[in-house]
Structure 1
Amino acid sequence: MILHLLTLARGSAGLLALSAFARTLTLLCGAALLAYPAWLVGRLADGQQVPPLGSVIAVMITLAAAKGLTRYAEQLSGHTAAFALLEQLRVRLYEKLIPLAPAVTASRGSGRLLSAATRDVDRVEVFFAHTLAPVVTAVVIPATAVALTWTLTGPALALGLLLIFLAAAATLIGLGRRGARASSTAAVRARGALAQEISDDLRGRQEITIFGAQEQRALRVDRIGAQIGENSGGASVLQGLRAAAGQGWQVLALFVLLLLGLPQAQAGVIGYTELLLVLALVPGTAPALAAIEALGLSLPAALASAANLRELEESSPEVAEPKHPVPVHTEHEAAASVSFHGVSFGYPGTEREVLQEVDLRIKPGAVAAVVGVSGSGKSTLASLLTRVWDPQAGEVRLGGTDVRELSLAALRAHITVVEQRPVLISGSIRENLLLGSPAATEEQVLAACRSACFDGDIAAMPEGLDTQMGAEGARLSGGQSQRLALARGYLRRSPVLILDEITSAQDPLTQAEILRRMPEATSATVIMIAHRSAVLRHVSSVYEVDAGRIRAAAPPAAGA
């Protein structure tokens, strides 16, 4: 996984190298701020002359200023690279998800996908901005300290310092390493589950309130929260142990160096100046090794999030783009025939076939109804036609062409689906109406609203089409949302229009008026997925889905 992330970082290698270099200079300046006073005290202890006070102050100010500037350069270059890489990661994720949609939402849940696109991507930033440069300096700074100690005092103290550095690094890296990755992976999954629960609760808030299920839903969230808390508790224990180890190695290092160096200084083998310099290198190099401590805390979470993102990116799409797509041929400019030939389908992960050997043909420009009990497979027909899924057997055709031979973009441009619970975006009514037809004129928008019986609602609103609807259309009733979605469907003017229970929230008079105006609103082939008999009186053909099979039924008489 680390190699995968390094591959992604190639485009920002220059900035990341600059960040590592600037961090090295920052830590060297910090070490010098401790070593220089130690050198001064050592010279005094050895009876040697020290620079004037003004020079000492100037050196200290220069080191402090240099440390501040290099720290700023490190943060600026590192985060610039990290944020650029985060942008690339999000774009990459969206590009990978587009071929998976919309089936990926049904299989994984919108909340989990949102968590991956936000929290998981943000956690990967830790690797780019707070891992690469610290890892470099965690090697360079201690190595420099060992080399300087060898030069000043000889091999004994240098080897002692080297062994302490190696032991400290091994302890900080190995402390809880086995459980950290598993705990981080469990935490990532639990946070995704929590995001999905909250997403579901927000979407179904009205039903939850009506059924008085607030406590039941809260208990589900509490259970996931408790699981996240357990994972966090284990991580906190490891954090405390690493913090203790991060301080403990410095105490051990000072003790060992004094034990080895003080007799040499007393014997005159080395000066007190050299001994104090070496002792000052311990706290001076501590920030470099502290990066390993922080790495042990943040890296497992970053790798777990990266693995989750990679799993999403490498998911196989339920439907594949054809290698050589053919153009869409429709029998008429405004309408296209729709046909199913021996189609059988069962949802992935289930054994039951929702549809079995379905044969159905709807002529161009016809208005047909598909009826059946809930779960009989009515909406599945629409999903197969738009290639949310592909059938396990048989063919689905648009205008006589197998939909698997058409590009997904071209196919879905020729079909508009208006659902019972339409998706509305935050913004104005106008923005929602123009979502699929941004070039539509004001006159076309108002005409579509009249055809959908939505014009009266707009006229009653002080700001008309510019009325803000709130999140997910919260300011509109269920009936208004359906009529807005129907007007949006009319505006798109696609050759096939699928209406999935779009009059379910309408009163009988409004429903009748919508159906009466429909022939004037569209010349497309209309497929109405419905239950109500009032809808059936306005169609030319009726197809009933029963136990996965389909049969033609006579529409009710006009006066029935």
Structure 2
Amino acid sequence: MIAHLLRLAKGSAGLLALSAFARTLTLLCGAALLLYPAWLVGRLADDQDIPPLGTVIAVMIALAAAKGLTRYAEQLSGHTAAFALLEQLRVRLYEKLIPLAPAVTASRGSGRLLSAATRDVDRVEVFFAHTLAPVVTAVLIPAAAVVLTWSLTGPGLGGALLVIYLAAAAMLIGIGRRGGRATSTAQVRARGALAQEISDDLRGRSEITIFGAQEQRAQRVDRLGAQIGAGSRGASVLQGLRAAAGQGWQVLALLVLLLLGLPQVQEAVFGYTELLLVLALVPGTAPALAAIEALGISLPAALASAANLRELEESSPAVREPTRPAPVTTEADGAASVSFQGVRFGYPGTSREVLEGVDLHIEPGQVAAVVGVSGSGKSTLAALLTRVWDPQEGQVRLGGTDVRELSLATLREQITVVEQRPVMISGSIRENLLLGSPEATDEQVLAACRWACLDTDIEAMPQGLDTELGTEEARLSGGQAQRLALARGYLRASPVLILDEITSAQDPLTQAEILRRMPEATSATVIMIAHRSAVLRHVHSVYEIDAGQITAAARPAAGA
């Protein structure tokens, strides 16, 4: 996974190298701020001359200023690279998700995807901004300290300091190493599940309130919160242990170096100056080694998030683009026929077949109804026609062409689906109506609203079509939202129009009027998915579906 992240960072390698170089200079300046006073004290202890006070002050100011400047350079270059990579990661994720949509939202949930695109990407950014350069300096600075100690005092203290650094690094890495990655992975999944729960609750807030299920839903969120809290507490314990170890190794190092160094000073092997310099190296280089402590905290989370993102990116699309797309054909007045031939389908990950050998044919320009109880497979027919999924057996044809031979963009231009619970975007009523047909004129918009029985509602609003949704004057009822979506569908004027329970929230009079105006509104092939028999008087043919099978062949509707 680290190799995968490093490959992603190739484009920003120069900035990341600059960040590592600037961090090295920052740590060297920080160490020098301790080493210089230690050298001065040692010179005094050895009865040697020291520079004038003005020189000492000037050197200390210069070191502090240099440390500030190099720290700024480190942060600027590191974060510039990291934020550029963050942008690339989000764009890359979006580009990878496009071929997976819309099936990916149905299988994984929009909340989990949102969590991946925000929280997981942010955690991967930490790897680039706060891991790469610190890891480099965590090796370079201690190595330089060992070389300096060896040259000043000989192999005794140099070797001891090397052993101390290695032991400290092993201890900091080892604390919680086994559980850290597993805990972080569990936390990523739990947070994604929590995001999905909240997303579902916001979408279904009306039903939750009506059924008095607030406590039940709150308990589900509480359980996930408790799971996340338990994982966070475990991570905090490990973080505390690492922090204690980060301070403890310095105390032990100072004691060991004093015990080894004082006898050699007394034997005049080297002086107090060298000993104090070596002792000052311990706190002077500790910030470099502290990167290993930070690595133990941030790296497992970053790797878990990166693995989650990579899993999303490498997911196989439910449907694939044809290598040589066929042209689409319409057959009469811009309408197209729709056929299902021997279609069998079961949702991925389940053993149950939703559709079993479905055969039906709808002529271009016809209005057909597909009726059946919930779960019988009605909406699945629409999902297969728009290639949200592909059937395991059989063919779905649009205008005589297998939909698998059409490019996805072309296919979905030919079909408009109006859902029972339509999605409204933030903005005005006009912007929602023009979502699928931005070039439509006001006359076309008003005509579509009239055909959908929405015209009187818009006239009653303070700013008409320009009324912003969500304001007190434009809180749409369920029936109004359905009619707005229907008008939006009429405006798009695609060859096939699928209406999925679009009159379920209407009163009987409005429902009858919508159906009466439909022939004037569209010449498309219309497929009405419904439970209620009220629609059957207004269609050319009816298909009854039960348990995934057509139980009654197409027949003229009564009173059609």
TM value normalised by structure 1: 0.97
Q: Which residue of 2 aligns with 1:443?
A: 443
Deviates more, 1:548-557 or 1:505-514: 548-557
Between the aligned partners of 1:444 and 1:399, the Cα distance in structure 2 is: 27
Counterpart contact for 1:452–1:514, Cα < 8 Å: yes
Q: Which residue of 2 aligns with 1:453?
A: 453
Q: Which residue of 2 aligns with 1:157?
A: 157
Q: Which residue of 1 aligns with 2:378?
A: 378
Q: Which residue of 2 aligns with 1:267?
A: 267
Report how far residue 532 of structure 1 moved: 2.4
Between the aligned partners of 1:457 and 1:54, the Cα distance in structure 2 is: 83
Instruction: List per-residue Cα deviations over 1:297-334 (Å, max 9, x = no partner).
Output: 11001100100111111111111111111111221352
Counterpart contact for 1:368–1:526, Cα < 8 Å: yes
Counterpart contact for 1:93–1:313, Cα < 8 Å: yes
What is the number of residues matched between the two proteins? 558
Q: Which residue of 1 aligns with 2:246?
A: 246
What are the residue-to-residue correspondences of 1:53-64 with 2, within 5 Å?
Answer: 53-64=53-64
Report how far residue 340 of structure 1 moved: 0.8
Tell me the amino acid that sits aligned with residue 461 of structure 2: M
Which secondary structure state, in structure 2, belongs to the residue aligned with residue 537 of structure 1? helix
Query: Structure 1: 5+ residue runs without aligned partners?
Result: none
Which secondary structure state, in structure 2, belongs to the residue aligned with residue 497 of structure 1? strand
Between the aligned partners of 1:66 and 1:319, the Cα distance in structure 2 is: 57
- In structure 2, the CA distance between the partners of 1:333 and 1:6, relative to structure 1 (3 Å rule), is farther
Report how far residue 555 of structure 1 moved: 4.2
Between the aligned partners of 1:557 and 1:247, the Cα distance in structure 2 is: 85
What are the residue-to-residue correspondences of 1:347-496 with 2, within 5 Å?
Answer: 347-470=347-470, 475-496=475-496
Report how far residue 556 of structure 1 moved: 4.2
Q: Which residue of 2 aligns with 1:329?
A: 329
Q: Which residue of 1 aligns with 2:256?
A: 256
Q: Which residue of 2 aligns with 1:207?
A: 207
Report how far residue 274 of structure 1 moved: 1.2
Report how far residue 423 of structure 1 moved: 1.4
Tell me the amino acid that sits aligned with residue 387 of structure 2: R
Report how far residue 470 of structure 1 moved: 3.1
Instruction: List per-residue Cα deviations over 1:63-94 (Å, max 9, x = no partner).
Output: 11111111111111111111111111111111
Counterpart contact for 2:86–2:121, Cα < 8 Å: yes
Report how far residue 401 of structure 1 moved: 0.3
Report how far residue 475 of structure 1 moved: 2.1
Instruction: List per-residue Cα deviations over 1:112-154 (Å, max 9, x = no partner).
Output: 1111111111110111100000000000000111111112111
Q: Which residue of 1 aligns with 2:338?
A: 338
Between the aligned partners of 1:403 and 1:333, the Cα distance in structure 2 is: 20
Report how far residue 256 of structure 1 moved: 1.1
Q: Which residue of 2 aligns with 1:113?
A: 113
Tell me the amino acid that sits aligned with residue 15 of structure 1: L
What are the residue-to-residue correspondences of 1:508-547 with 2, within 5 Å?
Answer: 508-547=508-547
Between the aligned partners of 1:333 and 1:59, the Cα distance in structure 2 is: 87
Counterpart contact for 2:468–2:474, Cα < 8 Å: no
Instruction: List per-residue Cα deviations over 1:240-283 (Å, max 9, x = no partner).
Output: 11011100110011111111111222222212111111111110
Query: Structure 2: 5+ residue runs without aligned partners?
Result: none
Counterpart contact for 1:541–1:552, Cα < 8 Å: no
Runs of 4+ in 1 over 6 A off after TM superposition: none
Aligned residues with identical type, % of pairs: 85
Which secondary structure state, in structure 2, belongs to the residue aligned with residue 353 of structure 1? coil
Q: Which residue of 2 aligns with 1:23?
A: 23
Counterpart contact for 2:146–2:162, Cα < 8 Å: yes
Q: Which residue of 2 aligns with 1:140?
A: 140
Instruction: List per-residue Cα deviations over 1:321-365 (Å, max 9, x = no partner).
Output: 111111112213521111111111112222222212111111111
Counterpart contact for 2:180–2:235, Cα < 8 Å: yes
What are the residue-to-residue correspondences of 1:225-244 with 2, within 5 Å?
Answer: 225-244=225-244
Tell me the amino acid that sits aligned with residue 112 of structure 1: R
Report how far residue 557 of structure 1 moved: 3.1
Between the aligned partners of 2:470 and 2:257, the Cα distance in structure 1 is: 68
Counterpart contact for 1:537–1:555, Cα < 8 Å: no
Report how far residue 456 of structure 1 moved: 1.5
Is residue 552 from structure 1 mapped to residue 553 from structure 2 by the alignment? Answer: yes
Between the aligned partners of 1:35 and 1:102, the Cα distance in structure 2 is: 61
Counterpart contact for 2:127–2:299, Cα < 8 Å: yes
Between the aligned partners of 1:400 and 1:256, the Cα distance in structure 2 is: 85
Between the aligned partners of 2:341 and 2:305, the Cα distance in structure 1 is: 44
Report how far residue 474 of structure 1 moved: 8.6
Between the aligned partners of 2:445 and 2:247, the Cα distance in structure 1 is: 69
Between the aligned partners of 2:94 and 2:411, the Cα distance in structure 1 is: 20
Counterpart contact for 1:111–1:195, Cα < 8 Å: yes
Q: Which residue of 2 aligns with 1:2?
A: 2
